[in-house]
Chain A
Amino acid sequence: MEIKDTTQERVQARDAAMRLLNRLTTGAAVSAVAGVALLGAFSAYTIPGTTSSSTASTSTTASSSSSTSTSSGLQSSTTPVTSSSSSGVAVSGGSR
């Protein structure tokens, strides 16, 4: 009778340990998947590795209302370009 009880206890302890093993394995798997997402988010936050394009597009839209934008990104001058015809000035006697 005593031997039977001992065997029963051992079987129950083994079953409990197996259940614990399954729970720990499942928990580790779920934690690992969550860890990839969480650490991926951490890495994205600390070193995104990409530049934001929204700022550039906003500034382009804002500037387009006041000046003409070209495809190369250069803007036309708001003041007229004039040519100078004055004589040149020679500079001499420069020192260190």
Chain B
Amino acid sequence: MNNAVLWYATRGAGAVSLVLLSAVVVLGILSVLRVQTTGWPRFLTVGLHRNLALMTLVFLTLHIVTAVVDPFTHLGWLAAVVPFSSYYRTFWLGLGTIAFELLLAIVLTSLVRGFIGQAAWRLLHWLTYAAWPFAVLHGVGTGTDAWSAWLFTLQAFCVIAVLAAIGYRFMTGSRDPLADARSSFQGAVDRREPR
């Protein structure tokens, strides 16, 4: 295969991975907020979140493999596994390695969620909020096309979408499905007990 094709595939797969990861983060936030309508039940958000997360791993693998096997770069497999071990843009490439490993850990722990328990899974899932900015910074620092108009627009769109979702989450808070039932029960108890 032509070296240039590998390089173009690396850049294309990297950009697609960032878009997919951003969509996964946004869907994850929406699923926490229990967003649903008549035609869009909540399990649809959760299912799409899970499927896109797996898809992100596939395209990230394509991004990494095409970068490593490209004979022009000589990155080596160690740089793909050990953060900050690359000779080329050590810091920025290391951020990408960390983002990939965090995402891998999140997906793997989600697959064995029944074994590790809900609390541990939730704790590990918070790592997503670290993996995403690492991925964005990796794209800005390492990416050949970082300041090209098309990738800059794409990155800006991803950042705005995720920040808007995070802002929406902080504004609305985590919706408790039993909040109404709890408050009405507490009200009934308060009315019954003389003070």
Contacts and interface: CB of A to CB of B under 8 A. Distances in A.
Interface of A: 13-14, 16-17, 20-21, 24-25, 28-29, 32, 35-44, 46-50
B145 A46 contact: yes
Interface of B: 4, 7-9, 11-13, 15-16, 19-20, 23, 39-41, 43-44, 47-48, 51-52, 55, 59, 62, 144-145, 148-151, 154
Contacts of A24: 48
Nearest to B51: A25
A35 B55 contact: no
A52 to B, nearest CB: 12
A65 to B, nearest CB: 32
B148 A40 contact: no
**Among A20, A41, A43: residue with most chain B CB under 10 A:** A43
A32 B145 contact: no
Contacts of A17: 39-41, 43-44
A38 B12 contact: yes
Contact of B8 (A16, A21, A35, A41): A41
Contact of B62 (A13, A28, A36): A36
Contacts of B47: 21
B193 to A, nearest CB: 37
Contacts of B15: 35, 39, 43
A49 B55 CA distance: 29
A20 B16 contact: no
A42 B23 CA distance: 22
B61 to A, nearest CB: 12
Contacts of B149: 46
Contacts of B144: 43, 47, 49
A21 B41 CA distance: 10
Nearest to A25: B51
B152 to A, nearest CB: 11
12 contacts: A17-B43, A20-B44, A25-B51, A28-B51, A35-B15, A35-B19, A36-B59, A39-B154, A40-B13, A46-B145, A46-B148, A50-B4
B105 to A, nearest CB: 22
B52 A43 contact: no
A79 to B, nearest CB: 43
Given A17-B39, A36-B16, A42-B150, 8 more contacts: A13-B41, A14-B41, A17-B40, A24-B48, A25-B52, A43-B11, A46-B150, A49-B4
